[in-house]
Structure 1
Amino acid sequence: MSDRELRTVVTGMSFTECPRWHDGRLWFVDFYTHVVCSVAEDGSDLRTELEVPGQPSGLGWLPDGRMLVVSMRDRRVLRVEPDGSVVTHADVSEHVTGHPNDMVVDEHGRAWLGNFGFDLMGGADIETAVLLRIDPDGTVTPVAEDLWFPNGSVVTPDGSTLIVDETLGNRISAFEIHEDGSLGERRDWARFGDLSPTRSLGEALGYGVLAPDGCGLDAEGMIWTADALGGRAVRVREGGEIVDSVEPGAGVFACMLGGGDGRTLFLCCAPDFDEHARSAAREAEIRAVRVDVPHAGRP
């Protein structure tokens, strides 16, 4: 994609994440200023939509239009009511062993939520994590386990399959979604390398071939995913073949297709993911590039 022009949409952020194209605007969170923002496709009219003191992460919308947002540090999913009030949609503290992070909301209003599994920023040893389903009434149900940092997720356009990036697992996993909301057995959607033989975080990072992070699905069934360790976003075919990539010259930690025709790839960029460095600086950006195949599925 070297012949395609990258443009800057947003600058001066701490660490942008979870980009979503919704209602004609790009929505995203900024971790360490604790806000949910939205912006026009061309980068104009930047708005602060919500403050989340507990540090926002995953975003989604219920079928009736109410927004859900993950509050990482107090391990809740919040819901914004029509009058603007913010209530607890679900308390997931009993189910997670690290910060809850990215989330996708399906057409039925079910939120599929991952979590770190361990203290990433504290450098703890890796522990695998559960994946949660949060029903529209706020009921929380573990639906999969033993995932290596379940992160960015998508639901296919027909609603039949949940695809989950495992950032520390060198893989993207897929699950059949049953009618009752339970999941089938995990299978490899894409595999980039073996699981790390060690749980030591520092050593395990050295086994990372591709660290899939925030992601989006396109109309040809391929996934654009950020490579959290590789400074790029890659377009992946089921099975693991990388068919396209973009390298913006910075770390890339999430991406999403959007824009008026669904063919703008938005990239959440920062120098690194170190909490202390990012919270002290305002070096994060959102960049964008045009691609050929438009968005599909959810988010």
Structure 2
Amino acid sequence: MSEPKLLVDNLGMPESARWHDGRLWFCNWIEQQVVAVDADGKAEYSDVPVGRLMGWSIDWTPDGRLLTTGDKLRRYEPDGSVTVLAEQGANELVVDARGNIYLNGADFDFAGGEAPKPGWIKLVTPDGAVRQVADDIQFPNGMVLTPDGRTLVIAESFAGRLTAFDVGPDGGLSNRRVVAGNLGPDGICLDAEGAIWVQTGGAGAVRVTEGGEILQRVELPFEDRAPFALTVVDFDGPTLCLLTAEWRMSDSITDNIQRLINGPRTGRVYTIPVAVPPVDR
């Protein structure tokens, strides 16, 4: 396995990694920015009014308009205006080919140290209707949809597992099942062979299939620096991007978050070549 290569640094907390339109895209938490980076590390920063320092995500509509979560679900129009699609606050999102938007979240103050509550997945249909399609999610995090739109997989961070659902014709979710366990999942990604890259809970990540078989493992050689999000891109070949920031396991969640907010900016993106390309988007 190759040594990780630094692609970009001096970030707040990089999250919600996406491969889109030939670049790596991600959310720069704390700074309320969306960042797009090419293979040479050239970065473009865009300010977004998400209403939160932490806990928000990005994706795109089928016609290419950017969506963000945060305190509301927003769409960014070609003329530069912003449309609020739903007043629903959320963490991660994913969009299917029909324009259905899946949101996830949990109704407690994670950053403030409030006692955890089970989370949910909600569906926003193209007509603007919002309905809950899954509950009892143990701290919902990254989500992916298979290219055929028939399966949704979500990371349940507090349960240490990946959970899958079948997607019905009306966008509803059914047939809940565990894909893989004994993990430390946060942001996740699907590759072109249908395997999922997911965090181990330490400084590493694994490539797994449904049933929990580990096909590949990578480790970052850093103390107190775990990947919070990851994705596969095509930077002159398949490349795994690992989004990291300083996180001291000996400190409380609140102390770590305050350190991220107050600085210094320790967020970085590292790359490692892999064998299987991304799902093209």
- Fold match by TM threshold 0.5: yes
Q: Could you tell me which amino acid in structure 2 is paired with residue 121 of structure 1?
A: A
Q: In the alignment, which residue of structure 1 is the partner of 2:29?
A: 31
- Of 92, 95, 100, the residue aligned with 1:105 is 95
Q: Could you tell me which amino acid in structure 1 is paired with residue 257 of structure 2?
A: E
Alignment of 1:170-181 (within 5 A): 170-181=160-171
Q: In the alignment, which residue of structure 2 is the partner of 1:127?
A: 117
- Of 28, 43, 58, the residue aligned with 2:41 is 43
Q: In the alignment, which residue of structure 2 is the partner of 1:10?
A: 8
Distance 1:115 1:58 in 2: 11
Q: In the alignment, which residue of structure 2 is the partner of 1:278?
A: 260
Distance 1:223 1:268 in 2: 16
Alignment of 1:207-246 (within 5 A): 210-227=183-200, 229-246=201-218
The alignment partner of 1:278 has SS state of helix
Moved over 4 A (4+): none
Q: In the alignment, which residue of structure 1 is the partner of 2:79?
A: 83
Q: How big is the shift at 1:296?
A: 2.5
Query: Which digits, 9 at most, give the CA deviation of each residue in 1:158-192, with x for residues without a partner?
Result: 11100111011121110000111111131111122
The alignment partner of 1:184 has SS state of strand
Asked whether the 8 Å contact 2:141–2:186 carries over to 1, the reply is yes
Distance 2:235 2:125 in 1: 30
Distance 1:53 1:277 in 2: 21
Aligned residues with identical type, % of pairs? 39
The alignment partner of 2:261 has SS state of helix
Q: In the alignment, which residue of structure 2 is the partner of 1:96?
A: none
Q: How big is the shift at 1:137?
A: 3.1
Answering whether residue 36 of structure 2 is matched by residue 54 of structure 1, we say: no
Distance 2:159 2:214 in 1: 17
Distance 1:157 1:261 in 2: 23
Distance 2:93 2:232 in 1: 16
Q: Could you tell me which amino acid in structure 2 is paired with residue 270 of structure 1?
A: A
Asked whether the 8 Å contact 2:242–2:269 carries over to 1, the reply is yes
Distance 2:47 2:99 in 1: 21
Answering whether residue 40 of structure 2 is matched by residue 67 of structure 1, we say: no
Q: How big is the shift at 1:118?
A: 2.0
Q: How big is the shift at 1:212?
A: 0.7
Distance 2:186 2:176 in 1: 18
Distance 1:175 1:27 in 2: 26
Q: How big is the shift at 1:104?
A: 1.1
Distance 2:239 2:38 in 1: 12
Asked whether the 8 Å contact 2:234–2:277 carries over to 1, the reply is no
Distance 1:159 1:89 in 2: 22
Distance 1:91 1:53 in 2: 12
Distance 1:161 1:284 in 2: 32
The TM-score normalised by the length of structure 2 is 0.90
Higher alpha-carbon deviation: 129-138 or 278-287: 129-138
Q: How big is the shift at 1:226?
A: 2.6
- Structure 2 regions of 5+ residues with no counterpart? 248-252
Distance 1:76 1:271 in 2: 28
